[in-house]
Amino acid sequence: MNTRIALATSLIALLSTGIAVAGDHEIRILHITDRVGDVDNFHPGDASDIPRRSAAIVQALALSETTPAELDEARSNRSVGFTHAFDLPAAGQITGAVLTVRVTSADELVSTDVLILDPGVRAYNEARLDFPRTNLEHLLGFKPVAGVIYDLKVDLSHVPVVYSDYFPLQPDGFLNLLPELADGRLDVLTGDDVMVDASRLTVHVAVPCSGRKCSDDRGEDKGGAHHDD
């Protein structure tokens, strides 16, 4: 996971411009998007409702006390797990990333549900009780309720977490998960009372370029990921 991800603040502020200048070199900002599932208002039975899963997610689902659910399955007491995957361009440096997960629930216990991301999945698989998890309430700013669709947005540079099975008004702290993306993957595991329609991961990457390459090099779409300038 060791990688250099930091850029000068001035470069990060130029994400929206596409190209920045650092000394004698230009930097192209790529916006890489990977999608899991399709946004279809929780219509079950589509091929895209069976998501890719890393070995860590498969292990976590096997260890859970619930029967795993696919996307768009309206069930309570069943976890959903999936893996985002993308190709990090050569010499690319990650400057930011946002995860957006579209969820709903028919169960009032959704008010106590959580998301578990990369380090939490690893700790969960190690049978640690203090694995980091993110309460949905801390993402939304209020308790979720049954019957409402939510787009959960997670700034992966500043992820609110708690370390035990309780629901404080404020998180225990915040984690920077941008280094976790250096391997081109992000594992996502839900609690057991949400239904997932789809998920989108957008990663901002600064890539050195020069001359015509800066205007022509748009990267390649690989591994289900889409690259935008």
Listed by start position, the domains of the chain span 9-228
pLDDT in tens, the chain (229 residues): 333 333 322 233 333 335 454 555 688 899 999 999 999 999 999 999 999 999 999 999 999 877 789 999 977 888 999 999 999 998 899 999 999 999 999 998 899 899 999 999 999 999 998 999 999 999 999 999 999 999 999 999 999 999 987 788 899 999 999 999 999 999 999 988 899 999 999 999 999 887 655 654 444 433 345 445 4
Q: CB 87: neighbour CB atoms within 10 A?
A: 17
DSSP per-residue codes, 181-217: GGGSEEEEEE-SS-EEEEEEEEEEEEEEE-THHHHH-
Half-sphere exposure of residue 154, counting CA atoms within 13 Å on the CB side?
29
Distance CA 128, CA 102 (A): 28
What integer pLDDT is reported at residue 76 of this predicted model? 80
What integer pLDDT is reported at residue 12 of this predicted model? 32
What integer pLDDT is reported at residue 166 of this predicted model? 77
What integer pLDDT is reported at residue 61 of this predicted model? 93
8 Å CB contact between 64 and 197: no
Specify the DSSP element, H or E, that contains 19.
Answer: strand 19-22
Distance CA 193, CA 196 (A): 10
Contact residues for 167 (Cβ-Cβ < 8 A; gap 6+): 112, 135, 137
| pTM for the whole structure | 0.82
Contact residues for 14 (Cβ-Cβ < 8 A; gap 6+): 20, 29
| Tokens matching residue 35 | 């999608």
Distance CA 178, CA 78 (A): 28
What are the phi and psi torsion angles at 188 (to 5°)?
-130, 125
What integer pLDDT is reported at residue 181 of this predicted model? 97
